[in-house]
Chain A
């Protein structure tokens, strides 16, 4: 396959970026999208040019590191996959592909396609946990959890914190990410003790990071590689309102 690329290049967060055009021959349809970028980078190095910086690690769709905005969609054209799981067979010979970093105020560009997602870690630090120190646990089977609740909690917990939801949202809202964690812990008995304070603190941190508000467009779930559902946002809103009605902690 022959592929033309328009790739966002930016030296660091303080400089302006721009698109650069590249052309690649001999792209195999079996290559993953990131392997196509490996080939591009080898080509650039051979030409004495600086390779494109991009985030990636596990290359099997679970670490959440890869983050390319491909032809106007986070992680590209397929449903339910990350950039690293996208293969060139999803494109046609002669295609021009536009590749940008995640664009959101809360995710500043570090270099080229690499962005800073520390904001997500800070949201989790605000309350995305059960406060249980090591060594305090009772027997794992002493508290049965209905399979339906466990499965639903698992579905929310499958979030990989890649940030596609934020990149997809016209408001750069992080509601899907935050709601996935709030939902997981609200659905499990272990999360009950801190249920209210968790919702309040995580939402407050989300706002402080500069993420936008949710206007129920649903682009986040549509683009989420783990297909985290909209019901989580509804659940988060319920948790948050419930917490606010009964507390003045945050």
Chain B
């Protein structure tokens, strides 16, 4: 592994408060007549992709958008539950752009870039305005104004929400804007299409190769810029809260064509998910972090206590988050809550049949809300039953859909017994390295939303993913892309009969032919499961040198076995989900190797990256700012060979401190 340092993130000069506004007023513009001749390819139609495609088309560019689902509205942003942050300070509780900026940097354990995060905080308010204008039905108070709630890692209420379906409502808002442009003919929509490679000509990204998933046809698409809005890679762990189709293929192909991969080992393990129930499990379901506003997390004080949660008396319960982190209690950030749950379960205090679960209990909230209702209605001597009934009604209004989901999956009623939860892979902070313009190391190739690495450092705060996806798509890329495209107005239409298109298309076809021809004994699904197990055991919530070294060897073996023994049924010229899956798993295997290498190289603990060798006496993450205050940007050289480039992180506005929520 070679290393070289210094990557230029192209952060504008000047004080942090004015970087973005100065940039906006000085960035080159493209006049309307020229915009009509510039084509932009947007891959992925989640919050980042849909908002970018719609906005760029409104501005006058010619846009082609791609998604592998049957409709752009199904991208996995749709499943985000809890909310979206914005520094509106509507609650008059001391919020500000600076505070959101500060909380995000601190929450990211001082591994995010100041310039990007401040910009994110600056545009956060505009996002809410835009969404409301587009008809997003956010939760409201009786006075008709927008409602807010708290999320982890903050002490203000800045999270806007729509029941437990915020991602759905925001995505449908962006999707409606996208469909409006599709109807006007300014966006050409390609659904059930998967991007299988990018095409670079003379050092610039000039298009993609995509497969029509219905017919199997391989297509060439040219563009003056390509935007990858393809989400995260949590499915490398097999079991995660991601959708079944979520994959790394687009980002990985870009990586192999020259885009550096930033901080691949930074993964977020979400503390509140429904525990695994058996071998058949295909995915995990999140229970929104918003539940930690009202739910209290605990385990029994005695080991191996098998009583149902509601039969364990108060004095025999250990509310371990409230005990360890009195200032933030149940609202500590996700990485901390996850590790604390793991610590209790590893120590033998876990609950449920697998012993890999902790309780999330709403009994106290039910009683508190019930009494509140009694007070509101001037009922002095309400019975305990009445209070419980009223309290449950309030809880139902706040979290009803989540409680229903829990009941459907587990068969248990969370209004009666405490929920059982356990951490699960949820989000990946790492992603393609991008500069301030959101451009990767390949000119003309951009990465937005979860697909890039930029804003969340080593740990993302709750309700910040939706904020970043929409910030990138609605408010950042429409400006920053001008600085590149202004120089492209003389380029003319990109010819897709260029030898590079021919060459890359042939490579894509050859790979498909290879996958189809192996005809081994093992399905792509089984390879995926095996990869997931290696990753979860050795590159999951806690990592150590020995485990990571073993994992790298095992993954390399798995890759060789895959290309020897994979069995893909069906044909290549038809609708074939097995073939789609095989290609994705092959890419996940390569990514897994890089994640382990990155985790092994980063000899410190920070945020979601916890190296067992580096912890404080209390078991908290121990950063090494002297040696690791940089972004790891990996350049792909050859099979099993990468070069590490470092982007040094400079904190001019925030004082680096040990991250404490005690």
- Give residues in A with beta carbon < 8 Å to B: 11-12, 28, 30-32, 34-35, 38-39, 41-42, 44-45, 48-51, 53, 55-65, 78, 80-81, 85, 87, 89, 110-111, 114, 116-118, 120-121, 124-126, 128-141, 143-147, 150-151, 153-154, 157-158, 160-161, 184-185, 188, 190-191
The 5 closest A-B pairs by CB, nearest first: A144-B144, A125-B183, A129-B176, A137-B129, A137-B133
In the complex, how many angstroms separate the beta carbon of B271 from the nearest chain A beta carbon? 17
Would you list which residues of chain B between 357 and 408 have a CB under 8 Å from chain A?
404-405, 408
Can you name 23 A-B residue pairings with CB atoms under 8 Å? A11-B574, A30-B278, A31-B278, A42-B525, A48-B569, A56-B244, A57-B243, A61-B405, A63-B78, A63-B243, A65-B69, A111-B575, A121-B73, A121-B182, A128-B176, A129-B134, A130-B135, A132-B177, A134-B58, A136-B133, A139-B129, A144-B144, A191-B135
Out of A45, A144, A157, A191, name the residue touching B145 (CB < 8 Å): A144
Q: Give Cα distance in the complex from A157 to B78, angstroms.
A: 13
**B129 in contact with A134 (CB, 8 Å):** no
- A residues near B189, Cβ cutoff 8 Å: 121
Query: Is residue B280 within 8 Å, beta carbon to beta carbon, of the partner chain?
Result: yes
Closest B residue to A81 using CB positions: B408
In the complex, how many angstroms separate the beta carbon of A121 from the nearest chain B beta carbon? 5
Closest B residue to A49 using CB positions: B569
- A residues near B474, Cβ cutoff 8 Å: 134
Residue of A38, A80, A125, A132 with highest tally of chain B CB at under 10 A = A125
**B130 in contact with A145 (CB, 8 Å):** no
**Given the contacts A51-B569, A128-B179, A147-B144, A137 and B132 also touching, CB distance less than 8 Å:** yes
Q: Give Cα distance in the complex from A28 to B141, angstroms.
A: 44
**A137 in contact with B179 (CB, 8 Å):** no
- A residues near B478, Cβ cutoff 8 Å: 134
Out of B90, B137, B526, B569, name the residue touching A141 (CB < 8 Å): B90
Give 7 new A-B contacts, CB below 8 A, not counting A85-B409, A188-B137: A30-B278, A45-B567, A51-B577, A58-B76, A134-B177, A137-B129, A138-B129
Contact mask for chain B residues 586-629; partner A; CB cutoff 8 A; 1 contact, 0 none: 00000000000000000000000000000000000000000000
- A residues near B58, Cβ cutoff 8 Å: 133-134
- B residues near A57, Cβ cutoff 8 Å: 69, 74, 76, 243-245
Contact mask for chain B residues 243-260; partner A; CB cutoff 8 A; 1 contact, 0 none: 111000000000000000
Q: Give Cα distance in the complex from A37 to B525, angstroms.
A: 13
Q: Give Cα distance in the complex from A190 to B575, angstroms.
A: 41
**B243 in contact with A118 (CB, 8 Å):** no
Q: Give Cα distance in the complex from A190 to B478, angstroms.
A: 24
**Given the contacts A124-B179, A154-B137, A161-B73, A85 and B408 also touching, CB distance less than 8 Å:** yes
In the complex, how many angstroms separate the beta carbon of A153 from the nearest chain B beta carbon? 4
Q: Give Cα distance in the complex from A128 to B177, angstroms.
A: 9
Q: Give Cα distance in the complex from A128 to B574, angstroms.
A: 32
Q: Give Cα distance in the complex from A144 to B138, angstroms.
A: 12
**B128 in contact with A129 (CB, 8 Å):** no
Query: Is residue B21 within 8 Å, beta carbon to beta carbon, of the partner chain?
Result: no
- A residues near B513, Cβ cutoff 8 Å: none
Q: Give Cα distance in the complex from A135 to B405, angstroms.
A: 36
Contact mask for chain B residues 112-147; partner A; CB cutoff 8 A; 1 contact, 0 none: 000000000000011011111111011111111110
Q: Give Cα distance in the complex from A121 to B65, angstroms.
A: 14
Q: Give Cα distance in the complex from A89 to B278, angstroms.
A: 14
Q: Give Cα distance in the complex from A157 to B176, angstroms.
A: 12
Q: Give Cα distance in the complex from A105 to B130, angstroms.
A: 37
- A residues near B523, Cβ cutoff 8 Å: 42, 45
**A87 in contact with B135 (CB, 8 Å):** no
In the complex, how many angstroms separate the beta carbon of B231 from the nearest chain A beta carbon? 12
